[in-house]
Amino acid sequence: MKNGRFIFLSSFLILTGWPGASAVGETAKGDARVTQLIHEVSLLPPNAAPRPAVRNETVAETISVKTGGNSRAELTFADQTITRLGANTLYSFKNAGRRVELNSGSTLLRVPKDSRGAAIISSAVTIGITGTTVIFESIRGGASRLTVLEGTARLTLVRARDQQREVAAGQSFEVAAGAVRLPDPKQIDLAALMKTSPLIVGFRPLPSQNLINNAIRQQQQQRGPQNQNQRQGPQGPQNAPPPPPGPR
């Protein structure tokens, strides 16, 4: 008899669309999974004490993530949106990782090409991306830095919404705290960044690695043959034989 009542109650909840049942399903779709931990990473549930994160556990959007010094983490969502956190980062997300709020530290965000896009929100700027891999950092003095590894992103100043700029692969934007005008983007060495960034080194290859490699090749081609020859080792001009000695 108890089993019959349970089945009847379950059917009633599903057929009537009981809000408690749908909320559980929707929350699960938006959860992240902890796919990598390096050193000290904590989860901050609402109305509860912080606790250490565990690899492969689920993180709901009501939970913030905090990393310690010299610590990093990676979260992966169902659609393969990937978020990596650098040291001393306080991070929270909504909409299955598509709305990122970064209060301090640094993050890498990779959004698949066929997704609905995502946004990074900070006190100084907002960043819109669709099918892109970027690194965003809160740096000294309240400034922010955006670096695009592949694809494009649109950066907007919080205090001056008319100040917007599209940032392409291989470009970096550094915005001072309280800025009301955007500076020009700077070109960065993508190949060097991929070998040194704490959000790349020590992690598995990104699903967008081939796209990043393409951006690196395009950047190297744009530099021209002279710079390429200087990188070719024994055949480059840096290893050319010295000229013969002149008359004494």
Sequence spans of domains, the chain: 25-223
CATH number among 3.60.21.10, 3.40.718.10, 1.10.260.40, 2.60.120.1440, domain 25-223: 2.60.120.1440
Half-sphere exposure of 81 (CA within 13 A, CB side): 27
Non-local (6+) Cβ contacts of 157 within 8 A are 124, 125, 163, 164, 175, 179, 180, 181, 182
What is the reported pTM? Answer: 0.77
Encoding tokens for residue 209? 């690695």
Residue by residue, pLDDT tens for the chain (248 residues) are 444 443 333 333 333 333 333 333 343 568 999 999 999 999 999 989 999 999 999 999 889 999 999 999 999 998 889 999 999 999 988 877 778 888 789 999 999 887 777 888 887 888 998 889 999 998 777 788 999 999 999 999 888 888 999 999 999 988 888 888 888 889 999 999 999 999 999 999 999 999 999 999 999 998 865 554 444 433 333 333 444 444 43
